[in-house]
């Protein structure tokens, strides 16, 4: 039984499958190559052939990298892991838009962008997130640890393990819990920063401030949270928010600008109440 299908597992949609072959594409890629933080970096042009429309964008880059490795060249470094749009690892500027929004027709993660959105003969520009707070590590991989430090500065509820009351002792209106969930779906990819002309992390921070601030459990630390997280953004070198909205338009999780209004409202309230950031 096993034998009858042995070998069939991977056989489909390849150049050897005549049904697929006519649709496969040849593309020109212009990719940002940078050896390390000290290197200036440059765009380098590559050709890739036989790209199936069913491939994901990252699978297309895999094809290129396999070729580069065999040729003894340095493969292109990019971050990725889950490849299903949830871990937030991937993030490329594709033809000048974060996660390739301009190509896909709507916000998505880079790993969920598929090659059927491109045409045979296209030239595609691929660059890293660009922001002072996201230094390039190599090629397309950047250091986003600044986002973790924003969470460290207050993006939590202090609930030491084992001290929690019975879950049903805290009632949360469905409306609030749904809104908190929507904000909590931010995957920390940094596309909002990359898309913002000011390289501001406001949408990311606002998503966490909203998530926790909308819940009864999040009230005790609400004022300190917002002032400290906002102060940390500044320390990390992110730009200020001028309400342009590019962040939300690029966000693969649909985090809305409403969250930024909530943050501003909370911040004002906190400052009025005398809350000041820890130095």
Partner 1 sequence: MPLDLFTVGDPIADTKAPMDVPIGERWSTRRFRARLVNPANRRKLTVIVVGTGLAGGSAAATLGEAGYKVKNFWFHDSPRRAHSVAAQGGINAAKNYRNDGDSVHRLFYDTVKGGDFRSRENNVHRLAEVSVNIIDQCVAQGVPFAREYGGLLDNRSFGGAQVSRTFYARGQTGQQLLYGAYQALERQMAAGTVEQFARHEMLDLIVIDGRARGIVARNLITGEVSTHFADAVVLATGGYSNVFYLSTNAKGSNATAIWRAHKRGAYFANPCYTQIHPTCIPVKGDYQSKLTLMSESLRNDGRVWVPKERGDTRDPRDIPEGERDYYLERIYPAFGNLVPRDIASRQAKNVCDEGRGVGPGGLGVYLDFGDAMKRLGRPAIEAKYGNLFDMYAQITGEDPYETPMRIYPAVHYTMGGLWVDYDLQSTIPGMFVIGEANFSDHGANRLGASALMQGLADGYFVLPNTINDYLADGPFEKVDDSHPAVAEALQEVQGRVQKLLSINGNRTPASFHRELGRLMWDLCGMERSEESLRKALDRIPEIRQEFWTNLKVSGDENTINPTLEHAGRVADFIELAELMCVDALHRAESCGGHFRAESQTPEGEALRDDENFAYVAAWEWTPEGAPPVLHREALEYEYVHLAQRSYK
Query: Using CB distances below 5 to 8 A depending on partner kind, what does residue 204 bind out of ligand SF4, ligand FES, partner 1, none?
Result: ligand SF4
Rounded Cα–Cα distance for residues 24 and 30 (Å)? 19
Mark 82-121 with x for binding to ligand FES (rule: CB under 6 A) and - for no binding: xx-xxxxxx------------------xxx----------
List Cβ neighbours of 268 (8 Å cut-off, separation of 6 or more): none
Among 192, 229, 267, 270, interactor with ligand SF4 by CB under 6 A: 192
The strand pairing partners of 25, in sequence order, are: 51
Total of chain residues touching ligand FES, rule CB under 6 A: 13
Smallest distance, Å, CB 26 to partner 1?
A: 15
Q: Which stretch binds partner 1 (CB under 8 A): 85-93, 196-204, 255-263, 268-276?
A: 85-93
Among 58, 133, 142, 251, interactor with ligand SF4 by CB under 6 A: 251
Smallest distance, Å, CB 84 to partner 1?
A: 5
Query: Using CB distances below 5 to 8 A depending on partner kind, what does residue 24 bind out of partner 1, ligand SF4, ligand FES, none?
Result: none
Contact between 97 and 57 under an 8 Å Cβ cutoff? The reply is: no
213-229 exposure pattern, b = at least 16 Cβ within 10 A, e = fewer: bbbeebeebbbbbbbbb
Among 21, 43, 44, 170, interactor with partner 1 by CB under 8 A: 170
Q: Is 141 left (phi over 0), alpha (psi -120 to 50) or beta?
A: beta
SS3 content of the chain, % helix, strand, coil (to 5): 40, 15, 50
């Amino acid at each position: 039984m096993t034998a009858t299908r042995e070998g069939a597992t991977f056989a489909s949609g390849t150049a050897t499958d005549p049904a697929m072959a006519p649709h496969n594409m040849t593309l020109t890629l212009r990719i940002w190559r940078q050896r390390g933080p000290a290197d200036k970096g440059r765009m380098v042009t590559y050709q890739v052939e036989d790209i199936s429309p069913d491939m994901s964008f990252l699978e297309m880059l895999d094809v290129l990298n396999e070729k580069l490795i065999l040729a003894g060249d340095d493969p292109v470094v990019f971050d990725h892991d889950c490849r299903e749009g949830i871990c937030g690892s991937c993030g490329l500027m594709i033809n000048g838009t974060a996660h390739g929004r301009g190509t896909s027709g709507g916000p998505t993660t880079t790993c969920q962008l598929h090659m059927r959105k491109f045409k045979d003969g296209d030239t595609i520009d691929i660059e890293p997130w660009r922001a002072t707070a996201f230094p390039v590590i190599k090629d397309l991989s950047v250091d986003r640890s600044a986002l973790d430090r924003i969470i460290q500065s207050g993006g939590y509820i202090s609930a030491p393990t084992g001290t929690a009351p019975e879950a049903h002792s805290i009632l949360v209106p469905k409306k609030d819990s749904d809104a908190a969930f929507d904000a909590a779906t931010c995957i920390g990819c940094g596309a909002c920063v990359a898309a913002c002309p000011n390289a501001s992390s406001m949408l990311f921070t606002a998503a966490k401030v909203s998530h926790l601030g909308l819940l009864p459990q999040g009230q005790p630390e609400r004022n300190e949270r917002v002032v400290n997280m906002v102060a940390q953004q500044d320390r990390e070198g992110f730009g200020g928010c001028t309400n342009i909205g590019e962040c939300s338009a690029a966000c693969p999780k649909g985090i809305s600008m409403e969250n930024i209004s909530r943050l501003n409202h909370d911040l004002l309230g906190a400052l009025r109440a005398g809350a000041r950031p820890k130095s």
